[in-house]
Structure 1
Amino acid sequence: MASCSESSNADRNRTTDSEAQAQPLDQDTAGLAKAVFAGGCFWCTEAYFERLKGVEAVVSGYAGGKEPNPSYDEVSAGRTGHAEAVQVYYDSTKITYQGLLEVFFATHDPTTLNRQGPDVGKQYRSIVFYSNPQQKKQAEDYIKELEEAGTFKNKILTYVQPLRKFWPAEDYHQDYYRLNPDDPYVRSVARPKVQKFESNFRDKLKPEYIK
């Protein structure tokens, strides 16, 4: 089964549609709330969140390490302390931070250490990055709730840590799922997961993603 890093390395050696069509972040994000999560390959995580009503933009990037200006080569090789992450810009009157947490924990396995499916390494660890005490408390309380309910067979290993800096990833990673439908990783790993998400969270989807 293809891994996220294998697909990415192959794609960078040829001209891709994403290089020509990737959408820059809408600069009009004033007034929007922000949340940052890491839960495996950011192509999947980005695709989940961008489908939610109330989410206005999602940026793939890196967070959790101390190294400035990390590159994908460095992160995917495990040469930094960063994890692949996404920054979510959302309208808090349409979707709450609690709602984002619920989607985050339902769309990856928070009980595996430094691994999500075929993607292995600290760069794929599960993290909730908080920007204020309220986000920290909500994340910790929700993890406790999931543990007490026995939602997962094994112990949740998700880190809850402060966001120091979010570094946007290279342009070709942005909106990767939509722009690279024939990528082997997208076909074999991401698409089945996204389709399952669309089925399970149909009531939270933007109209254009309801089938």
Structure 2
Amino acid sequence: MEVATLGGGCFWCTEAVFKRVKGVVSVKPGYSGGKVPNPTYEEVCTDETGHAEVVQITFDPSVITYRELLEIFFEIHDPTTPNRQGNDVGSQYRSIILYHSEEQKKIAEEMIKLYERKLGKKVVTELVPFEAFYEAEDYHHDFYDKHKNYPYCKLVIDPKVKKFMKNFPDKASIRI
């Protein structure tokens, strides 16, 4: 098994998508990329901890590769907008890849260049070494699956999950 740590806006969104990917064993929402140990959601929302909302993904590389995870990552969020995804604004919503090895770093660098060419814009995704992951509070776990009728889920998460299902049908493990 391998681990990937990615931030692409609200972790409710990224968790909902990556939970539906074949080869993904677990997805945990949390905080990473900052300097404050054991931050709370409220602290992260102050924009003062340096942390981003991220998901930590444990995956089987014989089923899904890190490169394929990054392809999904870049397709389900806007990597060209700093500190924002849609109406979610703040540094905690920034696009960030926290690499766990030099190989992950190399692949991420290649994917950033690929998406800059594909999108015709500068990709602002931060690429930094992984240091620590702080798991989010329990109420953030499986938020989408527990609250599908919540307006945010309907308006923001549903389209991302549907986009993933449409664009990556061979990678999807669960249909909605």
- Kindly state the Cα deviation for residue 79 of structure 1 after the two structures are TM-superposed: 2.5
Instruction: Detail structure 1 runs of 4+ shifted over 3 Å in the superposition.
Output: none
- Residue 84 (1) aligns with residue 56 (2): no
Structure 2 Cα separation of the partners of residues 110 and 191 of structure 1 = 19
- Kindly state the Cα deviation for residue 203 of structure 1 after the two structures are TM-superposed: 1.1
Q: In the alignment, what sits opposite 1:152? A: 119
Matches within 5 A, 1:108-119: 108-119=77-88
Residue from 22, 25, 40 that aligns with 1:71: 40
Q: In the alignment, what sits opposite 1:25? A: none
Q: In the alignment, what sits opposite 2:169? A: 202
Residue from 172, 182, 201 that aligns with 2:149: 182
Structure 2 Cα separation of the partners of residues 51 and 123 of structure 1 = 23
> How much is the aligned-residue C-alpha RMSD, in angstroms?
1.1
How many residue pairs align between the two structures? 176
Q: Where does structure 2 lack aligned partners over 5 or more consecutive residues?
A: none
Q: In the alignment, what sits opposite 1:125? A: 94
Q: In the alignment, what sits opposite 1:138? A: 107
Structure 2 Cα separation of the partners of residues 127 and 140 of structure 1 = 12
- The farther-off stretch of 64-73 and 183-192 is 183-192
Structure 2 Cα separation of the partners of residues 101 and 65 of structure 1 = 21
- Residue 169 (1) aligns with residue 136 (2): yes
TM-score by length of 2: 0.96
TM-score by length of 1: 0.81
Q: Match of 1:136, as an amino acid?
A: K
- Kindly state the Cα deviation for residue 145 of structure 1 after the two structures are TM-superposed: 2.2
Matches within 5 A, 1:29-40: 32-40=1-9
- Residue 107 (1) aligns with residue 107 (2): no
- The question of whether the paired residues in 1 share the 8 Å contact of 2:38 and 2:134 is answered with yes
Which structure would you say has the larger Rg? 1
Q: Where does structure 1 lack aligned partners over 5 or more consecutive residues?
A: 1-31
Structure 2 Cα separation of the partners of residues 144 and 189 of structure 1 = 27
